[in-house]
Amino acid sequence: MIHFFIFLPVLASLLIFLVPVRWREEFAGAAAGLTLAGGLWSWSVGGLSAYSINWIPAIGVTYSVQMDGVSLLLGIVTAFMTLIAVIYAGKRIPNPGTMLSLILMMETGLLGIYAARDLVLFYVFFEDALIPALLMLAIYGKAHRMAALIKFAAYTLFGSLLMLISIIGLKYYGGSPTFALADLQAHPVTGSVQTWLFLGFLAAMAVKLPLFPMHAWLPDFHAQNHDSGVADVMGTLYKVGAYGLFRFGIILFPDAMLELRPILMALAAFTALYAAWIAFSQTDWKRLLAYAGLSHMGLVGLGIFSMNETAMIGALFLLAFQNVYTGALFLAAGMLQERVGSLSTKVGGIMTQAGALSGLTMTLWFASIAVPGLAGFIGEFSILLGAYQVYPWLAFLAGLSTIAAAAYALTAYQTTYWQVRPAGAVLAHDLRDLDWLILGAPVAVAIFFGIYSGPALALVQPVVRAWMNGLGGGI
């Protein structure tokens, strides 16, 4: 079943071109829906057990995969938002076959990242997810897409090269027979070598958190992608750095992470506050959402780097559900652009003409700024509570970003959806047909898990506690 869950999307991405053009949207939707159904079934049976075989025995590479609680939660969220992206792409993008293929191909890369229990396999999936992201930008992006593409590729490939060197170093210096996580954990690297190898691994994860100063690719990447927001949904899901640090960093580099904890927590807190401050000055919805997402990921990084159980649980919870409401906000911005021809935060008066679009967008923003009763609150509160137990002043600084978030989000919302509609402006029609599902489903998820977080926390908590027990009961 685990192979079905991982590889069904990429199989569908290849077969879609054999399907008649008029049925491609339905075919892609069925593949994405079956993948989500596979994830939900896996949840119902308690996860997917480990599977491991030798892949390239000569150099110790294995095909080792597993879907435990954390992987499964992130995998289900990925499958859910991929389905939403597929539905909107079919509705919004003319002749969407290529875009649908790239979305499904990227989904397999992301699911593979979460399932991989071999570092070389993790690296392969990590790079596989990059290719469709670049192609979406290159094919469907705006006028300055090539500059954004080069910047995105340069940051990612630079970090990936350093990560690959660190992966090889872990096996070489530790004497592990394979690159499987279990073997690497049984043959640890210690001392200064561990620190240097961690820095190489961190470089790639910092790009995909992202973390200041490795974030510069992010605003242009979102601003230059297709106006629909579909590629931005997949880009949001590609923020896998925090997961990589949790899954591999804490286990393989515990001493280095502890040694660098104050610096890394300070960088994460600064990222959260800095991004929130920059977001306040943005007048383009996509750039504003890019910095809002960066601020959220600063909080996620704070939770992971704290190596505190409560903060880490909150970080993984926030990592999962910010993918839902941030991704949906990009689609809401795409719907706004479709109606008024602009992504400006100054268009004014949308509420008077498109009340449902405005109301659902407002609910998603409430989740984003961590209003109690919505999914964002649980993750952010847990992160700050746990980080406070480690470095109170850093938790305080990062906490200021939640105040700033309310300021930038509500200010931009007011100037877009309230105020006065300019005379002679185009009429903005309200939600129609599938638009209700595209925004309504993420809103329902944000409300449900904001009120009843138990099922999601039940997936995350045992894994985090097992990880911390592996470090001697926590640090």
Residues 21-34 pLDDT 10s: 888 999 999 999 99
Flag whether pLDDT at 351 surpasses 70.
yes
DSSP 116: B
Give residue 474's pLDDT band: very low, low, confident or very high (50, 70, 90): very low
Flag whether pLDDT at 134 surpasses 60.
yes
DSSP assignment string, 229-273: SHHHHHHHHT--HHHHIIIIIHHHSHHHHHHTHHHHHHHHHHHHH
Instruction: Give the per-residue pLDDT at 472.
Output: 44
Cβ-contact 6, 70 below 8 angstroms: no
Pairing of strands 48-56, 61-67: antiparallel
The b-or-e profile of 407-437 (16+ CB within 10 A means b, else e) is ebbeebbebbbeeebeeebeebebbeeebee
H or E, element range at 81: helix 69-92
H or E, element range at 43: helix 24-44
Instruction: Give the per-residue pLDDT at 213.
Output: 86
- pLDDT digit string, tens, across residues 175-198: 899 999 999 999 998 889 999 999
The values of phi and psi at residue 32, to 5°, are: -65, -40
Instruction: Give the per-residue pLDDT at 475.
Output: 37
- pLDDT digit string, tens, across residues 41-78: 999 888 778 899 999 999 999 999 999 889 999 999 99
Q: Which amino acid is at 36?
A: L
Helix axes 392-417, 375-388, angle to 10 degrees: 160
The model's pTM is 0.93
Cβ-contact 5, 35 below 8 angstroms: yes
The b-or-e profile of 233-248 (16+ CB within 10 A means b, else e) is bbbbbbbbbbbbbbbb
In Å, how far are 13, 77, 153, 302, 320 from 240, measured between CA atoms? 22, 13, 16, 15, 10
Flag whether pLDDT at 423 surpasses 80.
no
Compute the distance between CA of residue 209 and CA of residue 9 in angstroms, rounded to an integer: 24
- For tokens 């704290």, the residue is 306
- How wide is the angle at C-alpha 192 spanned by C-alphas 191 and 195, nearest 5°? 105
Residue 75's closest CA among 45, 37, 101? 37
Cβ-contact 237, 82 below 8 angstroms: yes
Quote the percentage of the chain above a pLDDT of 70. 98
Flag whether pLDDT at 473 surpasses 60.
no
Across the range 419-438, mean pLDDT stands at 81
Flag whether pLDDT at 470 surpasses 70.
no
Instruction: Give the per-residue pLDDT at 422.
Output: 73
Give residue 471's pLDDT band: very low, low, confident or very high (50, 70, 90): low
Both tokens of 241, joined, read 């750095």
Compute the distance between CA of residue 268 and CA of residue 368 in angstroms, rounded to an integer: 18
| Side-chain-facing half-sphere of 392: CA atoms under 13 Å | 0
Flag whether pLDDT at 442 surpasses 80.
yes
* Mean pLDDT, rounded, of the chain: 91
Task: Let me know how many helices (H) and strands (E) the chain has, helices first.
Answer: 21, 2
State the distance between the two ends of the chain, measured CA to CA, in whole angstroms: 36
- pLDDT digit string, tens, across residues 368-391: 998 999 999 999 999 999 999 999
The CA radius of gyration of the chain, in Å to the nearest whole number, is: 21
Across the range 311-322, mean pLDDT stands at 94
Helix axes 285-306, 375-388, angle to 10 degrees: 40
Instruction: Give the per-residue pLDDT at 361.
Output: 94
Give residue 349's pLDDT band: very low, low, confident or very high (50, 70, 90): confident
Residues composing the chain: 475
Contacts of 362 (CB under 8 A, 6+ apart): 413, 417
Contacts of 173 (CB under 8 A, 6+ apart): 189, 193, 197
Q: Which amino acid is at 83?
A: L
Compute the distance between CA of residue 285 and CA of residue 342 in angstroms, rounded to an integer: 9
Flag whether pLDDT at 104 surpasses 50.
yes
Give residue 420's pLDDT band: very low, low, confident or very high (50, 70, 90): confident
Quote the percentage of the chain above a pLDDT of 90. 73
Instruction: Give the per-residue pLDDT at 46.
Output: 81
